[in-house]
Amino acid sequence: MPTGVRLVVLGKQGAGKGTQCVRLSHRYAVPHISTGDMLRAAVRARTALGLEAESLMTTGELLPDELITRMVAERLSERDATARGFILDGYPRTVSQAKMLDTILDEDLPLHCVVNLEVATDLVLQRLVSRRTCVDCAAIYSTNEPPIEGWSCDVCGGEVVQRPDDTAEAIMTRLQAYERETLPLINFYAERGLLETIDGDQAPDAVLADTVIAVERRKREMP
Residues 143-202 that bind ligand ADP (CB under 6 A): 165, 174
Tell me the residue length of the chain. Answer: 223
**Catalytic site includes residue 44:** no
Closest residue to bound ligand ADP by CB = 36
Q: Tell whether residue 135 is a contact of ligand ADP (CB under 6 A).
A: no
Q: Tell whether residue 49 is a contact of ligand ADP (CB under 6 A).
A: no
**Catalytic site includes residue 132:** no
Closest approach, Cβ 59 to ligand ADP, in A, equals 8
Q: For ligand ADP, give the closer residue by CB, 29 or 63.
A: 63
Q: Tell whether residue 21 is a contact of ligand ADP (CB under 6 A).
A: no
Closest approach, Cβ 2 to ligand ADP, in A, equals 25
Catalytic residue among 6, 132, 163, 218: 163
Q: How many Å apart are CA 177 and CA 214, to the nearest integer?
A: 28
Closest approach, Cβ 75 to ligand ADP, in A, equals 12
Start-end of H helices in 60-178: 65-76, 79-84, 95-104, 121-129, 168-177
Closest approach, Cβ 152 to ligand ADP, in A, equals 22
Buried b (16+ CB within 10 A) or exposed e, 12-46: bbbbbbbbbbbbbbeebebbbbbbbbbbbbbbeee
Helix/strand/coil for 133: strand
Four-residue CA torsion sign, 9, 13, 16, 20: positive
**Concatenated DSSP letters for 9-37?**
EEE-TTSSHHHHHHHHHHHHT--EEEHHH
State the residues that interact with ligand ADP by CB under 6 A: 13, 35-36, 39, 56-57, 60-63, 68, 90-91, 93, 97, 165, 174
